[in-house]
Amino acid sequence: MSRDKVISADKLVHMKREFGFPDDILCSLVPKYPEYFRLVGCPGEEKSFLELVSWNEEFAKSVIELRAEEESELMGIRVRPSFNWKLPPGFFIKKEMREW
């Protein structure tokens, strides 16, 4: 999302699988949530954009981050969120990236 709260709809459609969006994201999800999203421009001409109409602060944190905050409140110390991930065989991540 850009500083202007818009993203190219065409680019989003090309990246839909990487983000886990359905094939018909612009036809199903956008009309379903008009309070959050709006299509702007001419679809199909690479001049259409998805605009964020309003921001819900609750959506800004992942479930993992919310759980870490809950643990922090219970334990009285700040707990760092832990993200579990599995890499394909033969795929390695540098130590700096793992720590990040």
* 47, pLDDT greater than 70: yes
Give the model's confidence band at 44: pLDDT under 50 very low, under 70 low, under 90 confident, else very high: low
What's the pLDDT score for residue 83?
A: 65
Beta bridge partners of 40: 49
The pLDDT tens digits of the residues spanning 2-42 come to: 778 888 888 888 888 888 888 888 888 888 989 988 988 87
Binned at pLDDT 50, 70 and 90, residue 100 comes out as low
- At 42 the pLDDT is 72
pLDDT at 45 over 70: no
Cβ burial, residue 100 (10 Å; 0-12/13-18/19+): exposed
C-beta separation of 48 from 39 below 8 A = yes
Please give the mean pLDDT across all residues of the chain. 81
Q: Where along the chain do its domains lie?
A: 6-55
pLDDT at residue 46 tops 80: no
The tally of CA atoms less than 13 A away on the side-chain side of residue 10 is 8
pTM to 2 decimal places: 0.55
Edge-to-edge strands, sheet with 37-42: 6-8, 47-52, 37-42
